[in-house]
Amino acid sequence: MIAGFVGTYVRTQDPVASFRMGMACGAATAFTKDIAVKSQIEAVLPQIVVTQIS
């Protein structure tokens, strides 16, 4: 999760995109026996929706 966030943030400087990627990495890993691989993360990423609340 942290690596997904930091890696994306370093490349994009976009905190929302970075949060989405971090959540996708964490979610994909939660459903595997080991660390998730890129294909598993990419499969989960479209399901991660970030909604701003106020």
pTM score, whole prediction: 0.90
Using a pLDDT cut of 90, give the percent of the chain over it.
96
pLDDT at 54 > cutoff 90: no
pLDDT at 30 > cutoff 90: yes
Which pLDDT score, from 0 to 100, does residue 16 have?
96
pLDDT at 47 > cutoff 90: yes
Compute φ and ψ for 45, nearest 5 degrees. Answer: -50, -45
Mean of the pLDDT values across residues 47-54? 94
Going 29 to 30 to 32 to 33, the CA torsion angle's sign is positive
